[in-house]
Amino acid sequence: MKLKNLHIENIRSYKKLDFTFEDGVTVISGVNGSGKSSLLEACFMGLFGSKILSKDFVLADVIFKGAENAKINLGFEHLGQDYLIEQAFRYSSKSENASNSKCVLYANGESIVDQATRTYEEVCSLLNMDEEAYRNCAYIRQGEIDVLINAKPKDRQRMIDGLLQLGKLEEYRERAGSAKTAVRRLQRDTSNSLSGVKAEIEGIESTEPHAVLNGLRQKIKESDTILKKCNENKEAAAAQKEKLDLMITEHRERLQEIQTLKQALSKSQEDKAGCIREKEAFAREAHEQRQALLGLEEENNHIRGECGFGDLEIEALSLQKEKEEFLAREKVNVISKELALLLREEEVHTQDLRDFENEKAETEQSLMQCRADIGATNGEIEGNRKNILRIEDENKKLKEAAKETTGFTDTYEIPLFINELEEKESLLRERKNEASTKLALAFKEKETGDINLLTLDKELQNTKVAVRKSKTEIEILEEELRENEKAVLEVKEQKSEASAGLKGLGFTGEQLEDLEYLSELLLENKNRLHGREKELEATLRELDKVIRKNRQLLAEGKCPTCGQDLKGSEIACTTGESEQKREKLAAELLDIKLQQAEVEKKLNRLKDAKKLEKRISDYDLETERLKNKAKDLQERITIHKTRTEEDSLKLEGLNKQKEELEAKMGKLLPDIKALQGWEAAAQKAHGESERVLQEAKAFEKKLAENTSEIESLNGKIRTSLALIENYGQRLGELNEKLKGLAERETQEKEKLKTLEVELEALRKKEALAKETHDESSKHLLKTKKLGANLIQMDNIKHKISELEASIRNLAEKVGFFDREILERNERVKQLEGKLQGSRFEDLQSKRTQLEEYQANLTEKTRQTTAAKDALLKEVGMVENSLKRRNELKDELKALENRKQYLEAVYSNAEELESMYMRVRADMRNRNIGALSTLLNEMFSFMYTNNAYSHIELDPEYNLTVYRKDGTPLEPKLLSGGERAIFNLVLRCAIYRLLALGFGGDRADGLPPMILDEPTVFLDRGHINQLLKLIDMMRGIGVGQIIVVSHDESLIDSADHVFQVEKDPITNMSSIVKL
């Protein structure tokens, strides 16, 4: 098999990739995490789909983050045919799960399978291996150096047998063994069924079913005659009862109608009395309404006379009074509005006058403030000029002080002088820092030396403790080894005692192998006996019941149904036969109970034997465990002795290091003292320079502040002069304003006097209009009262008419109730006359007698029917017995034929099991020998160290590595590098063994060999041997070897080299050929 091409989309870190595989050795290189192993996983997944995922991963982990669809297309050539597998996946962001949306296998361009499971099965069939077998021989994954080494022998055997198709032979042998066991079980079941069928046929024929059937049919005919007569009597009684029921029903209906009529009479009389009461209430209410009408007429006449309305109509009168009231109200409103306007105008003029007075006062105050501000501003100008003279004197004093402290002269410019001082201070600061740094490094070195001394002292102490501890542990382990040897002897003695107990129970070695089979036979026999026991007990109970019943009938002497004498009858004969059969069955039941006791005794012996066998097996396991423990203790003692020697050598080295470090620390102290003096001088010089620089900067800052303050004072003087000019203009404006305000105040006072005269005249006119309006309002209210009374009188008249109509209706209803009461009285008399001819009690008595007669007939019919049903049931049982006998005879013939057939099948299954076992054992021995030879050949070729002589693979697939001195070692005790070499050798040996299985030492039918980081744990010498191993695998016909590695040796010796790169921004991988 050869891989041809790979196309992937959105898989791991690959957004899209097309890759073509070449023959020979292909090395894929790249930095860690770039996506090299992901490329190999894509090939693996293309072949076997999601089956490759371990339990720690799900399909969604394989798809590129953020993508919803992914694809893998893998093309390969196998045995002369071209294949293509298309795998597609879909990711749901809602459920955060992924699924396989497409899986198609093409052969030579034609689709042969289009479903994931079937594609997986077809690929496994093509390669003769599943994904686990592929990992175990062709795909050596990164970090899996211990998978085959630490595997259990049974797992290793299962894997290798599966790869070489030996698992099929084991499966066929197990099937043959299962078939043999099943046939043996069927044989036992068939024998048991034969015995049961024969016994059941004999039991049926012993009851003479034909004679019993004839007697039962005669009894059924007699029962039919009795039932016919009973049914005729029941029909006559039912007809007579039906006639009586009709008469009783008619009598009840008439009584019910009389009761209903009397209730209706009572209700009609009550309704009549209610109508009379309601009529009287309406008459009283009509009288009260007439009295109220008279009172309203008197009130209206009084209003017309008092107001002088006369006989005018109410509508005309209302319109006239409303018009008069409206005109009077309008006149009052007009005068009130004129008065309000005058009052508002008076208020406005009064407010204006107050405003003029306030403004005049404010203007006078502003005039005085303006004059005061002019005086204050002149004072400020004089003060600022004095401050300017003071600051100029201060600047002269500062310059003289600077000459004495910093060396400043008038020839210098201040900024240039400051720059020179800063450069000097910077230079001195650097010298001070250099001295401090060197001193700090010296102190750090001294501190590090002190810490190293403490660490060495601590490590010396720990090493001494470790040496003492190792010696103590060696003594403890030797003592434990001696105890272990004693325990082995004790377990052997206990095993001997258990074996003696097993022989005492009478079991040989061959019988021990068939304990389960014997137990199964005994349990089946116990269950069969138990079933037969329950069956016999049930049959005995039925016979006891029949015998008791027959004896009771014989004691009475006659049949209770037909009155026939029972002496010498069929019942007497059947009773004797049943007693004989009961004695026979009781004896059989006793025999079965004895057999059950014997079977139980044998089962108990088997249980004791199983317990002893289990104890012997446990002793063997315990012995093996103790031997392993002894081996482990011996190895641990060796390890501790080696470790003690190493610790002693380490102790000597640590003492030497301590002496060297103490000498170095002695030289360091004079250097530290010299550096401390240098640092003190540098700090003093830098401090003086820093002080001069700070004073110069303070001088510069103070001069700048004074200059700024002089400029500020000159600005304030200019501002004050401008303010004085503005205040002069303001004084003129305020004087003009005061003259205008005095003139306007005089005009407003004259207007207020005119308004007071007009207001007095309007107030008198308003009082007269209000009196007229009040008179009009009183007349309007009287008019409205008169109208309301007239409307109320109309309503009262209408209500009186309605009451008189209601009184007439109630009088008519009283007459209707009188007629209805008379008619119902006459109907009651008629019905009472019809009831005088018959008595209800006599009819009920006759009906009760007929019901008792019917009940007696029904009981007799039920008893006869029950007896007939019992007879029919017995007839059915006898007929079923005859039918069952015929079926059992047919079944007996079939069981005899089946027994012969099962004997032949059992013989064939036994021969097949033996054949498969021989063939599998022979092939496994040959494979173990071949694999052991290949393993040692490749191990000696690959491993350059001469410490090991050979590797042993025993028939149970246990792997052991032997040293040159013959000491055996388990592979898991090798170092990491040695286990990596062992893993490579074992995988390649299995691969070559598979090639032999495919026909010769060629690998044409096998998949490409894939090595993921094989140089991990290998030194340079073994990497060179790995190159030779790869050449060897190419020599046996491995067409493609794909290696993922960083090693330059592998890259240089490869036929094709590819570089995998990952974009750090997009996190996408790409591949280029070098």
Portion of the chain with pLDDT greater than 90, in percent = 4
C-alpha 616/C-alpha 499 separation (Å) is 7
What's the CA gap between 1061 and 1071, in Å, rounded?
Answer: 6
Is 977 labelled a binding residue? yes
32 known member of a binding site = yes
Task: Specify the pLDDT at position 568.
Answer: 59
Model-level pTM greater than 0.85?
no
> What is the Cα 759 distance to its own chain's centre?
95
Contact assessment for residue 274 and residue 873, using Cβ atoms and an 8 Å cutoff? no
**Does the annotation flag 36 for ligand binding?**
yes
261, 827 contact by CB (below 8 A): yes
* Pair type for strands 1009-1012 and 110-113: unpaired
Residue 975 assigned as binding residue: yes
158 annotated as belonging to a binding site for a ligand:
no
| CA 32 to chain CA mean position, Å | 36
Residue 35 assigned ligand-binding role: yes
Q: Contact, 727 vs 373, CB < 8 A? A: yes
Q: Looking at residue 504, what is its pLDDT?
A: 72
Cα Dmax for the chain: 173
Does 318 show up as a binding residue in the annotation?
no
Show Cβ contacts of residue 847 under 8 Å, excluding neighbours closer than 6 positions: 241, 244, 245, 248
- 886 φ, ψ to 5°? -65, -40
As a whole number of angstroms, the distance between CA 989 and CA 164 comes to 13
Q: What is the DSSP string of 293-320?
A: HHHHHHHHHHHHHHHT-TT--HHHHHHH
Query: Is 33 annotated as ligand-binding?
Result: yes
Strand partners, 809: none
Domain boundaries along the sequence of the chain: 2-138+974-1073
Tokens of 861: 């019919």
Whether residue 50 is annotated as binding a ligand: the answer is no
Long-range CB contacts for residues 805-812, cutoff 8 Å, separation at least 24: 806/282, 807/279, 807/282, 807/283, 807/286, 810/275, 810/276, 810/278, 810/279, 810/282, 811/279
pLDDT in tens, 370-383: 777 777 777 777 87
Residue 294 annotated as part of some ligand binding site: no
What's the rounded Cα separation, in Å, for the pair 292 and 800? 11
Q: Compute the C-alpha angle 341/343/347, nearest 5°.
A: 115
Are 1009 and 1033 a contacting pair, CB within 8 Å? Answer: yes
Residue 797 is which amino acid? K
What was the pLDDT predicted at 409? 63
- H or E segment and range at residue 390: helix 314-406
Residues with Cβ within 8 Å of residue 405, at least 6 apart in sequence: 692, 695
Question: Can you read off the two tokens belonging to residue 817?
Answer: 């109730």
Strand order in the sheet with 1040-1044: 139-140, 1009-1012, 1040-1044, 24-29, 1056-1062, 1069-1073
54 is in an annotated binding site: no
SS3 5: strand
* Residue 359 is assigned to a ligand binding site: no
Residues of the chain with pLDDT under 50: 998-1002
- Per the CB < 8 A criterion, the answer to whether 974 and 980 are in contact is no
Annotation-wise, does 888 bind a ligand?
A: no
Nearest to 879 by CA among 206, 224, 212: 212
Residue 426 marked ligand-binding: no
Tokens of 247: 């008469």
pLDDT in tens, 250-300: 777 777 777 887 788 788 778 878 888 887 787 888 778 778 778 777 777
180 marked as part of a ligand binding site: no
Q: What does the alpha-carbon distance between residue 124 and residue 48 come to, in Å, rounded to a whole number?
A: 8
For residue 89, what is the enclosing H or E element?
strand 81-92
Only one residue has tokens 């308003």, namely: 766
Alpha carbon distance 426, 143 (integer Å): 60
Give the C-alpha distances (Å, rounded to integers) separating 534 from 74, 538, 539, 585: 69, 6, 9, 12
How many residues in total does the chain contain?
1074
Which residue stretches of 943-1019 are H helix?
A: 976-997
Selected from 3.40.50.720, 3.30.390.50, 1.10.3720.10, 3.40.50.300, the CATH number assigned to the domain covering 2-138+974-1073 reads 3.40.50.300
- Which letter does DSSP use for residue 558 in this model? B
Burial of 1072 (0-12, 13-18, 19+ CB in 10 A): exposed
Strands 1056-1062 and 81-92: unpaired
What phi and psi values does residue 153 have, to the nearest 5 degrees?
-55, -40
